[in-house]
Each structure stands twice: as structure tokens, then as C-alpha cells.
Amino acid sequence: MSRLVESTLGPQWIRVRLQNPPHNGLTPDLCQQLAQVLQAASANPEIRAILLDASGKSFCVGADLRWAAQQGPSAFSTLVRAMHQVCEIMLTAPKPVLCSVAGAAAGGGMSIALCADVRLASQRASFRLAYPQVAVSMDGGSSFRLPQLIGMGRTQGLLYDDRTLSAAEARELGLVHEVLHPERLEERAWQRLEMLAKGPTLAFGESKRLLNPPEWVRERLDKEAEAIDRMARTQDAARAMQSFLAKRPLHYEGK
């Protein structure tokens, strides 16, 4: 199995990088590797902060649709459950998780980024829910993370309009904390990572438990996965995936 995730260990921190360029499409293998690295980092008392970023043109565009098309109706269900392991660890790790987004973050990629505690973005970054494109429901914690971060009304606007946000728009909404020139993003990420690693890690961890109680996080992720199970078997989802890959106009019938 090829390595789709790389990690660099430093004093009191770890950098975890997605390595499935150019767009870091999500597959079960990638998610399982990412979950293993994040779980080990979460359990290691010597690691006090985690940085997640990505190589390639995009941060992560969500599901690798070419992989999914080869797997059949069960592909999304399999992938979502693997991805939810990643999201649960990020949301409940007893230490801060920093995410640095240098390119496009869409679908599950956007959801993973939102699971971080601190989010930085390049001016070239963009954000899109994209779930309506393939006729599936929200996953990766987005159904509760978005209302937490920007409120229900704005969440509904992003879902039903399904438009792409620039980094500046994402910052204005509150989806990211800082937007930086592309040449400054990595430097700033290291600065924030070191600051977090030197902070009151135990207090950060307890605060995270209050903000996102682990049992509540798991329950909500399970409900999202159940909804994906239902949506993945619809005609709309099958046709939407075929149309997307063939670059044909999308037509939904509500079936």
C-alpha cells in the first residue's frame, strides 16, 4: 500500500501531510492512514499540537470520484466511515489541531478542514461544500460544524447555493482564522503550531471536550453516515456521479 500520508515529528508537535496529489482525493486507504497517524499523535503525551496540511494543487477536493465510480453504490458508505474516523479524532483529540489550506477544499476536504481547531488559508484557497454536485447529504461533521462556526442561516445558504467561497469570503464568514499570502502561509503555520505546542495543552483539551463532547460527536457522525447510506443508493446520486465524471450537465429527478 502506497503512503498517502506523511508525517514529520518535532519537539512537542507533529506535522501531518496529505500526499495524494494533485488534488488529494479521499479514498479509504488515505483516510485509514491519516486516522492511524492522528490517533497515535493524539495518544502521545509528548505531542502537544498537530498540524495538518497537504501537498499538490489542492488541499483536498473530497471523495476521489474516479475511485468511487469503480466501486459501486457502497463506495460512499465505505469512504465516509473511514473519513469519519479522521474527523472524530480531530474533533476530540486532547490537544489543538491546526489546519493549513493552500488550495481548494471541497466536499469532505472542506469538512476535514473545519474539524480543526485553528484554520489558516492561503489567498489562493477556496471552499465549497459540493455535496449537491453528487446528490449526497453532508458528512465529515459539516452538518454540525458549520452551524457551530457560522450559524444555521449561513449554513443553509452555503448548502442550497452550493457556491465556491474565496479565502477572503471564508474569513469573513468565520470559517478560517487567518488568510495569508501564499508565500507566508507555511511560515505562519509553523509559528501558530509552535505557539499552540507551548500553550496550556491540558486546558485546551478539556475545553475541546466541552465544545464537542466525544459521545455527541460520535452520535452526529453516525447519523451523517446513515444518511449517506441512503443517499448513495438513489438514482440522483448515481446519475450525478456519471455526469460529473463525463462533464455533462447535471439533471436531478428526486429519485
What is the maximal distance between C-alpha atoms in the chain? 54
Is 150 within a domain?
yes
| pLDDT score of 1 | 55
| Kind plus residue range of the DSSP H or E element containing 31 | helix 28-43
| pLDDT score of 2 | 72
| pLDDT score of 77 | 85
Say which residues have a Cβ less than 8 Å from residue 9's Cβ, sequence separation at least 6.
47
Is 214 within a domain?
no
Q: Which CATH number fits the domain that encloses residue 33?
A: 3.90.226.10
Q: What is the residue-averaged pLDDT of the chain?
A: 93
Using CA of residue 32, residue 34, residue 40, residue 43, what is the dihedral sign? negative
Dist. CA 23–CA 105, nearest whole Å: 9
Angle between helices 75-92 and 28-43 (to 10 degrees): 20
CB 249, CB 243: distance < 8 Å? yes
Is 203 within a domain?
no
Strands (E) located in 28-69:
49-54
Angle between helices 214-232 and 75-92 (to 10 degrees): 160
| pLDDT score of 39 | 98
- With cell 455526469, the residue in question is 243
Query: Taking Cα atoms as reference points, which of 54, 152, 144, 153 lies closest to residue 105?
Result: 54
Is 70 within a domain?
yes
Question: Which portions of the chain are predicted below pLDDT 50?
Answer: none
| pLDDT score of 152 | 97
| Strand 118-122 relative to strand 13-18, pairing | unpaired
Provide the number of structural domains found in the chain.
Answer: 1
Rounded to the nearest angstrom, the gap between the alpha carbon of residue 91 and the centroid of all alpha carbons in its chain is: 11
| Strand 118-122 relative to strand 97-101, pairing | parallel
Give residue 106's domain range: 5-183
| pLDDT score of 238 | 81
Distances (CA, A) of 180 to 59, 124, 211: 15, 9, 27
| pLDDT score of 254 | 85
